[in-house]
Amino acid sequence: TSETFRKKLHSLDGKSYGALKQLTGAWDFGTFTLHIDKVQSDPYAPASRMHLVIPRQATALPGELTRSAEQRVAAADFIARDLADAIRQGPREYGFVTPGQEILPRSSVVVSESAVQVRFTFQFPAAGRRVKGKLAARLLGERLFDLVKYSAVGERLDPEQLREHVETYTDFSALQGQLSERGLVAFVADGAILPRSAGDSDTPLRSALAFESPEEFRVKFSLPSGREVTGMGVRAGITLIAGGGFHGKSTLLRAIERGVYSHVPGDGREFVVTDPTAAMVRAEDGRAVTGTDISPFINNLPGGADTSRFFTANASGSTSQAANLAEALEIGAKTLLIDEDTSATNFMIRDQAMKQLIAAEHEPITPFVDRVRALYDQLGVSTILVVGGSGIFFGVADSVIAMRSYVPSDVTDRAHQIAGARAKPVDFDFASYSAVTSGRSVVPASLRGSRGSKPPRGRGLEQVQIGKENLDLRYLSQLVDAGQTNAIALALELVARELDRPQNPTQGRHLHSAVLTVIEQLQQQGLDLLVGAAGARAESSARVRGDLVLPRVAELHQAISRWRGLKVGS
């Protein structure tokens, strides 16, 4: 009981941190159970990890909003936000991750049919190297009762807000699921607020002009909650977003890029919805490339490097963008998102004057403009492209949207007129392109870092530490939560195991199928699967962690592709 727990903590007052080990285990508090999973070994070690199990009868969660797995993800996300607020205002000994603007599967709160679990950390207060047991008893005991009682798991649940949160998520997924049958790769709702309040903030710009769709692209969706939304449907094929500088082109594309995720009510992007496989493809000079087939885009490099299995520790602007594109195809992206602001010009286009000056046989790059049509016609891969500086793409585009003072309009006919007869697609056959036919096979051990090193771990949003090396994820613009980075770090072991399994002869050790399998397992079995995986290698580890968020297949695959220790097989 909570009384035994209190007494126990009192008896530990003034003891050394080693004595805290006795607390490990489950403590029955009546309406809920406190599980102490891993206690810190000293005051300066990472905080202790614990979780609460609150039976559903003790919560106010309505059954009708938690029936499906999808509803439970959104309900958990809602509770996590409420608890993050409450815990942030409370004693600083508590640690709980604060969610961003996306509604995502998180390990901090897990709602099941029978219980709600809340995972948090607690820093045992110290006087020197001794435990302040009495203070800990007060901070944990009483505070936890309050937290459970006066939060969204208890009395303070606002059922209407919960409903809105859950329906925002389920409507979003329903809309996302309908995109392809409607011939669309993205949808931007009328009334959406696209710009963010600052370059380093993800909250909506209050003074923004709300989005208004051009009539020619307007479509309507009826959603499961009964809600109807209208907005701009971006059709499959090749879409250009054109317009003058500072007229809102990149802002529109960035919203579409984040539209792979559901956003919280009030974000402004709740109904900006994108093909879930969509991948941003940018230049990223300096990245490592390991065995990627970039041959449709780059060939005959000086020095004779084989671009069908391209290796470099230091890619150029164009080769890095080619690798990013090839790897997006490898993992199954059906929509590519490209902004001229972050592209290598020579990867995208080459004009007539340059063609005259530099003969084709001395130019290794076939510009994207000569491949974009075949990508769609043969592989069904659409492209949404922001351009302001060149009209070269007009001839190959299916739709052209002009942004003017943040207002989109349909200028497709005019752009086609300007281009003259629609440019003949440059002939290219993707049928035997290895990135889509087989993909790379990877040596499993190369995902594990050096022998005897600690398991990989996430360090903030942008880095994973593997052994002594850092894996740099700063250019993955669709990686949005440090919890995804943590999950990617742990998922490396699961991918390695998947690659290690007795091989299915048709699949081989293909990286893309291993990544797809792992993410599917995490979706179905939950993020706790990751902790089990790490625990098997680490000397000791708690069974649960509250700091994991589900990544997409794209980001897990992109992370692995950037790992400098990666080794590919034949």
Q: Does 249 bind ligand ADP (CB under 6 A)?
A: yes
Sequence letter at residue 364: P
Q: How far is the CB of 409 from ligand ADP (least distance, A)?
A: 14
**Binding site partner of 239, from ligand ADP, Mg ion, none, Cβ cut-off 5-8 A by kind:** none
Q: Is 408 in the site for ligand ADP (CB under 6 A)?
A: no
Strands 335-339 and 279-280 turn out to be parallel
Minimum distance, C-beta of residue 339 to ligand ADP, in the bound complex (Å): 8
Q: Classify residue 541 as left (phi > 0), alpha (psi -120 to 50) or beta.
A: beta
Q: Using CB under 6 A, which of 40, 239, 251, 446 touches ligand ADP?
A: 251
- Is position 243 an interface residue for ligand ADP (rule: CB under 6 A)? yes
Q: Which of 128, 245, 302, 420 binds ligand ADP (CB under 6 A)?
A: 245
Residue 531, SS3 per DSSP: helix
As given in the structure block, the two tokens for residue 388 are: 């302001």
Report what 335 binds from Mg ion, ligand ADP, none; CB cut-off 5-8 Å by kind.
none
Of 247, 287, 448, 510, the residue at the interface with ligand ADP (CB under 6 A) is 247
| Chosen from Mg ion, ligand ADP, none, partner binding at 407 (C-beta under 5 to 8 Å by type) | none
H/E stretch holding 255: helix 249-258
Answer with the entry of ligand ADP, Mg ion, none that 423 interacts with (C-beta below 5 to 8 A by kind): none
Q: Which of 29, 406, 433, 563 binds ligand ADP (CB under 6 A)?
A: 406
Is residue 14 within 8 Å of 131, Cβ to Cβ? Answer: yes
Q: Which stretch binds ligand ADP (CB under 6 A): 30-38, 73-81, 243-251, 427-435?
A: 243-251
Least distance in angstroms from the C-beta of 386 to ligand ADP: 6
Q: Of 144 and 411, which CB lies nearer to Mg ion in the complex structure?
A: 411
**Which residues lie across from 103 on neighbouring strands?**
262
Q: Which does 420 bind (CB under 5 to 8 A by kind): ligand ADP, Mg ion, none?
A: none
Number of residues that bind ligand ADP (CB under 6 A): 15
Which of 250, 277, 335, 399 touches ligand ADP by CB under 6 A?
Answer: 250
Nearer to ligand ADP, 115 or 407 (CB): 407
How far CA 70 is from CA of 60, 165, 257, in Å, comes to: 19, 12, 22
Establish if 269 lies at the interface with ligand ADP (CB under 6 A).
no
CA distance 436 to 8: 60
198 near ligand ADP (CB under 6 A): no
Within 10 angstroms of residue 303's Cβ, the number of other Cβ atoms is 5
CA distances in angstroms from 402 to 242, 244, 245, 246, 407, listed in the order given: 5, 9, 11, 12, 8
Neighbours of 8 (CB within 10 A): 14
Query: Among 123-131, 240-248, 457-465, 476-484, which window interacts with ligand ADP (CB under 6 A)?
Result: 240-248
Question: From CA 76, how far away is CA 106, in angstroms rounded?
Answer: 8
Binding range to ligand ADP, per CB under 6 A, among 106-114, 176-184, 241-249, 479-487: 241-249
Amino acid at position 224, single letter: P
Interacting partner of 26 out of Mg ion, ligand ADP, none (Cβ under 5 to 8 A depending on kind): none
Q: For the CB of residue 189, give the shortest distance to ligand ADP in the complex, in Å.
A: 13
208 binds, among Mg ion, ligand ADP, none (CB under 5 to 8 A by kind): ligand ADP
CA–CA separation, 77 and 82 (whole Å): 9
The Cα 230–Cα 223 span in angstroms is 11
Q: Which is nearer to Mg ion, 343 or 561 (CB)?
A: 343
Exposed, middle or buried: residue 467 (CB in 10 Å: 0-12, 13-18, 19+)? middle
Q: Is 102 helix (H, G, I), strand (E, B) or coil?
A: strand
Q: What does 246 bind: Mg ion, ligand ADP, none (CB cut-off 5 to 8 Å by kind)?
A: ligand ADP
Shortest Cβ 198–ligand ADP spacing (Å): 9
Query: Could you give the 3-state DSSP secondary structure of residue 179?
Result: coil
Q: Which amino acid is at 68?
A: S
Selection from ligand ADP, Mg ion, none that 150 binds (CB < 5 to 8 A by kind) is none
Distance from chain centroid for Cα 104 = 9
Instruction: Tell which one of 4, 11, 22, 246 touches ligand ADP (CB under 6 A).
Output: 246
Q: Which is nearer to Mg ion, 245 or 303 (CB)?
A: 245
The three-point CA angle 545-548-554 to 5° equals 150
- For residue 441, the one-letter residue type is S
Q: Applying CB under 5 A, which residues contact Mg ion?
A: 250, 341
Q: In the bound complex, what is the minimum distance in angstroms from residue 398's beta carbon to ligand ADP?
A: 21
Contact partner at residue 419 from ligand ADP, Mg ion, none, CB < 5 to 8 Å by partner kind? none
Helix (H, G, I), strand (E, B) or coil at 371: coil
- Name residue, tokens 């209407």: 160
Q: Count Cβ atoms within 10 A of the Cβ of residue 108 and give its class: 0-12 exposed, 13-18 middle, 19 or more buried.
A: buried
Which strand (E) or helix (H) includes residue 560?
A: helix 553-562
Distance CA 344, CA 477 (A): 17
Q: Which residues bind ligand ADP (CB under 6 A)?
A: 194-195, 205, 208-209, 243, 245-251, 403, 406
